[in-house]
Amino acid sequence: MPSVLFVCTANICRSPMASALFQGQIAQRPDAKRWRVASAGVWAMDGSPAARYTQAVVEKRGFDLSSHRAQGVSRELLRRYDLILTMERGHKEALQAEFPGLANRIYVITEMVDCRGDIADPMGGAVIDYEDTARELEGILTLGMEKIISLAAERQSTDSGDQRNGEQSRAD
């Protein structure tokens, strides 16, 4: 089962937004039910709901984040995902430093469209800032979908090959 984990700072704004938008886009694919998609935060306060404007922005697009609860990253969580997409270079660097064995799974989401920028955090801003973030994420997910699918599938085939050869796949 291919899997993607979206990561931001507190897991109440950008990463749950990206997760919802990705799930909406992946739903159009014939293999949609095979995908596992989630979000987390590098400094999340476990159990916090998605930000009010995040919920409003994704609701306008037909998605419901009312039951979302923030979760922090951990080695166990990261190991369950084929691809980890962060919102900022700092998130990527922090995760790769703390979990070097998982570094090859971690990318900044903008790398999916061959860019090096960060996704600005709209937290504390006006609803228009959240709309801008949603539009930026939608564009990246649309243009970068094939790369996302390819990277997740690449990890899947690597794990399958290790298991077929009787080896225990170790990520870290």
State pLDDT tens for residues 4-34. Answer: 999 999 999 999 999 999 999 999 999 999 9
Choosing from 13, 14, 82, 155, which is the catalytic residue?
14
pLDDT at 160 over 60: no
Q: What predicted TM-score, i.e. pTM, was given to this entire model?
A: 0.91
Give me the count of residues in the chain. Answer: 172
Closest by CA to 109, choosing from 39, 168, 46, 160, is 39
Choosing from 69, 79, 118, 121, which is the catalytic residue?
121
Domain 3-162, CATH number (from 3.40.50.620, 3.10.440.10, 3.40.50.2300, 3.20.20.70): 3.40.50.2300
Is 115 catalytic? The answer is no
pLDDT at residue number 163: 40
Is 89 catalytic? The answer is no
User: Residue-wise over 49-69: b if at least 16 C-beta within 10 A, else e?
Assistant: ebbebbbebbeeeebebeebe
pLDDT at 162 over 50: no
165 falls in which pLDDT band (50, 70, 90)?
Answer: very low
Query: pLDDT per residue over 126-144, tens digit each?
Result: 999 999 999 999 999 999 9
Q: For the chain, which residues make up each domain, given as ranges?
A: 3-162
- Helix, strand, or coil here: 3? strand
Contact 25, 142 (CB under 8 A): yes
Query: pLDDT per residue over 35-52, tens digit each?
Result: 999 999 999 999 999 999
- The single-letter code of the amino acid at 149 is I
Query: pLDDT per residue over 77-112, tens digit each?
Result: 999 999 999 999 999 999 999 999 999 999 999 999
Is 75 catalytic? The answer is no
pLDDT at residue number 155: 82
pLDDT at residue number 159: 60
